[in-house]
Chains A and B, each alone.
Chain A
Amino acid sequence: MFVYILKRIVATIPVMVIVAVFVFLLLRLTPGDPAAILAGDSATPAQLDRIRERLGLNDPLIVQFMRWMGQLLRGDLGTSLISNTSVSGMLVDRLGPTINIALMTIVISVALAVPMGVIAAWRHRTWVDFLVMSFSVLGFSVPVFVIGYILIQIFAIELRWVPVQGYRAPSDGIGPFFSRAILPSLTLATIYIALIARMTRASMLEVLGEDYIRTARAKGVRENVVLFRHALRNAAVPILTIIGTGFALLISGVVVTESVFNIPGIGRLTVDAILARDYPVIQAMILLTAGIYVFVNLLVDVSYSFFDPRIRY
């Protein structure tokens, strides 16, 4: 197992290098000039050129790339061209809200969706199944910002139970954190509940037809044990995959939700950085996102063996 994990980590290095080269080139080929953002609307061409010179944007691409690689190897993500602050500091500040909201979303989604999927499969082709599947279709089809606005209208504006917007860290108190995180998490959860419930149902349906389930039932094992211990455990692999990629997707930034609820997360940071062509920030963000995907996939792969003893590394 340890060797497997080590191998996987080593294997990510070429992936990350390719991502880095690709991102760097793509950004430099996109039109847009951070110096123009920095200088504003009435800057003359000569002023722009002096700023570009100072930012090192006039250097040949290869020089810029080697400089960036050198920084990365020293563990330095660089400085934002626009705000002149450290990129790693910005990432740390923005990662907290995103991870917390993502965790809460996944917890809500799993807690609701897995039982929903199990029950739908158990009561296959009954009204329960129909209800769960209708909800999934709805959760998928309604745009996330519409759900967000509806929740805000009901719970923040009409009922006044929670604030309209904003974010507070859990260290500011569980109450303030929870009241602001609940609506965005619920909004995002509608999608993931749909996704996970469908996957759970499909995977469970496959397993429930197996011989060992029939055997277990024939032996008189209680139905909830059959469902949740025997069947669900064997149906877990595809469900875990969906949860893992869902989590990675949530962390890589759910821009619309972050905008609607005014959460200073990394999704918004990425969009702002792209609009301003703030190269060091965009580069770091994409590397971070790639890293999160690699890491979450690794975690998911490793967790397979806990659920399915046949899987060995």
Chain B
Amino acid sequence: MLNLKSALGTTRGLAAALLTGSALIAPGALAAQEETTITAVMHSGLRVLDPVITTAHITRNHGYMIYDVLTAVDENFAPQPQMADWEVSEDGLTYTFTLRDGLVFHDGAPVTGADVVASLSRWGQKDSGGQLIFDRTASLEAPDDKTVVWTLSEPFAPLLDVISKQSAVPPFIMPARVAETSADETITEYVGSGPFVFNEAEYEPGVNVTYEKFDDYVPRDEPASWMAGGKMVNVDRVVWTTMPDALTALNALSAGEIDYLEQVQIDLMPIIEGNPDVTVEKRDELGYVTIGRPNFLHPPFDNKLVRQAAMAALDQESMLATMQGDPEYYNVCGAIFGCSTPLGSEEGSEPLTGGADPEAARALLEEAGYDGTPVVLMAPTDVVSLINQPVVAAQALRQAGFEVDLQSMDWQSVVQRRAQQSAPGEGGWNMFFTNWMVPEVSDPLINVMVNGRGDDAWFGWPTDPEIEDLRAEFVAADGADAQKEVAMKIQEHVMDNVNYIMMGEYIIPQARRNTIQNMIPSPVPVFWNMTKEAE
């Protein structure tokens, strides 16, 4: 009466089990037939399903579930074949990609060169690295179903690094009919060739999203490493569910209602640390950076000396300690490309990492002739990871002699206001803070804060021809050593010119039930390779 259908189902199952005798001999046999579902609480709800139109992390994570990529970086930041192998001509102008066998989309159609060309072209309109490649592209063609030939007009040494990057917008491969959507319009069909299939019927924007194992996916043979290697799916379903309340998510994990929690708030750690059924770990060792961005258009930060004064006034240790609390989860680091990346260098970063120096800051302000123009700091009040930085910075800047106007607002208001180029007194701003994943700042082509093209640059709009020359030098640099050398010059330049203020690195721990095993350590949480045992 209560639930006739399931009651009938149980009776039928029991009868069948009794007939075959399996219920008597092997009670576990039935359980083993059951579907394995991983229920995960991600850092935010999935609302945008087009991984090219947005740089939101949750949408990128969704992209890796259902789409595949041509090439992908492994844990050493080295590009590896994923859907395709490649060959580069000796002059560095022609890249020939050959698709591997067995690639099919979720609708059963084989993946062809035409799909790849359409997908790369759409991505190239949105992605800043992609735009640089397409500026130098003579042609991108698919001579046959298995081959894609990318011909450049001038060499672009980091091409494979750019198309293999895991963030912010990786070039996911979609069917040509989907990829032909304008790059400013969101796609409406979500068919990929990746290891999971998106279950559109069960999708509730911002609440739940369900993926099912794609049975026809053929993984590579190599072991999985970051986004590269064999993507072996050992579970039937993955459900991402959104829990706006951090404590509820922890309680649900403790009670076994969910299997995995992508982000654990540091201050709630004591609640879960003693639980023997749960493992808390640092799965993404690279972590995040927090940064301050000055506005180059208006006084006082249009003056290099004042920017240097601000950098001298700020102190990473106190900022990170206020943000994270536990030193185990932060790292004083002055490398603008991140401390544990191939291009990371702490050259010239002592003003940042060596503690605040209000005296030096005062001297710089005096030299600059600072007239007490108030500095407008935008302080978001609704994003946990961004609440503290402006408050700590305001205090440090005041101690060094700055007049500070700390303005509280919600993050959406920050996002809209930081796009305003008007003067701080007329709706503009002087400085704001934000966070990036380390892979998103790890080289000069990805890191938007080292773009120096004035109005076309990222918010703050520095006109910095010197850094643009260095970026061009980086594109032309052949080989890892040559690239590293240019990256060092960029580091020194940013430390001197203060294009942005690197405020250090931090790590967000993750938690899982002990029944979940074999997760790949990676900045992007992925659900291949992992296994789930019965509790």
Contact = CB atoms under 8 A, between A and B. Distances in A.
Interface in B370-412: 382, 409-412
Contact of B244 (A41, A47, A259): A259
Interface stretch (B73-81, B200-208, B260-268, B328-336): B200-208
Given A157-B251, A173-B6, A269-B206, A36 B416 contact: yes
Interface stretch (A81-89, A134-142, A246-254, A288-296): A81-89
Interface in A1-56: 31-33, 36-48, 50-51, 53-54
A86 to B, nearest CB: 11
A272 B382 CA distance: 12
A36 B419 contact: yes
B300 interface: no
Kindly state the interface size class of chain A when it binds its partner.
Answer: 35 or more
A276 B419 CA distance: 16
A40 B186 contact: no
- From A157, A163, A262, A276, name the one whose CB has the most chain B CB atoms within 10 angstroms: A262
B243 A165 contact: yes
Contacts of B455: 45
A52 to B, nearest CB: 10
Contacts of B482: none
Contacts of B419: 33, 36, 45, 48
Interface in A233-287: 259-262, 264, 268-269, 272, 275-277
B413 interface: yes
A35 to B, nearest CB: 9
Given A38-B53, A45-B455, A83-B48, A31 B252 contact: no
Contacts of B206: 83, 268-269, 272
B55 A43 contact: yes
A156 B251 CA distance: 9
Kindly state the interface size class of chain B when it binds its partner.
Answer: 35 or more
Contact of B257 (A42, A163, A260, A275): A163
A37 B252 CA distance: 29
B218 to A, nearest CB: 32
A205 interface: no
B90 interface: no
B255 A82 contact: no
Given A46-B456, A272-B206, A31 B412 contact: yes
Contacts of B55: 39-43
A164 B205 contact: no
A297 interface: no
Contacts of A51: 53, 184
A284 to B, nearest CB: 14
B81 to A, nearest CB: 27
B245 A174 contact: no
A275 B410 contact: yes
A51 B54 CA distance: 11
B251 A31 contact: no
B523 interface: no
Contacts, number: 136
Contact of B458 (A42, A156, A175, A276): A42
B413 A32 contact: yes
Interface string B317-359: 0000000000000000000000000000000000000000000
B254 interface: yes
- From A45, A275, A277, name the one whose CB has the most chain B CB atoms within 10 angstroms: A45
B456 A82 contact: no
Nearest to B419: A45
A228 interface: no
A149 interface: yes
A164 B257 contact: yes
A303 interface: no
A32 B54 CA distance: 17
A78 interface: no
B184 A50 contact: yes
A33 B418 CA distance: 11
A48 B420 CA distance: 12
Contacts of B413: 31-32
Given A149-B247, A174-B2, A85 B205 contact: yes
Interface string B243-287: 111011001101101000000000000000000000000000000
B49 A259 contact: no
A31 B205 contact: no
Contacts of B204: 93, 264
B244 A268 contact: yes
Contact of B248 (A31, A43, A260): A260
Given A48-B419, A262-B245, A39 B205 contact: no
Contacts of A166: 252, 257
Nearest to A265: B207
A61 B465 CA distance: 40
Nearest to A264: B207
Contact of A38 (B6, B54, B168, B208): B54
A217 interface: no
Contact of A260 (B205, B245, B254, B255): B245
B511 to A, nearest CB: 15
Contact of B255 (A149, A160, A277): A160
A54 B126 CA distance: 15
B271 to A, nearest CB: 10
Interface string B402-440: 000000011111011101000000000000001010001
Contacts of A156: 251, 255
B49 A175 contact: no
B416 A32 contact: yes
Given A42-B458, A275-B382, A165 B47 contact: no
Contacts of B244: 259, 262, 268
B33 interface: no
B208 to A, nearest CB: 8
A275 B382 CA distance: 9
Interface string A97-130: 0000000000000000000000000000000000
Given A32-B412, A41-B55, A152-B248, 6 more contacts: A39-B53, A40-B56, A83-B205, A85-B205, A166-B257, A262-B245
User: Which 6 pairs show the lowest CB-CB distances between chains A and B?
Assistant: A40-B55, A83-B205, A32-B412, A173-B3, A31-B413, A264-B207
19 contacts: A32-B413, A36-B412, A36-B416, A37-B415, A38-B54, A39-B55, A40-B54, A40-B55, A42-B458, A51-B184, A54-B184, A83-B48, A157-B255, A164-B248, A164-B252, A165-B243, A173-B6, A262-B248, A264-B207
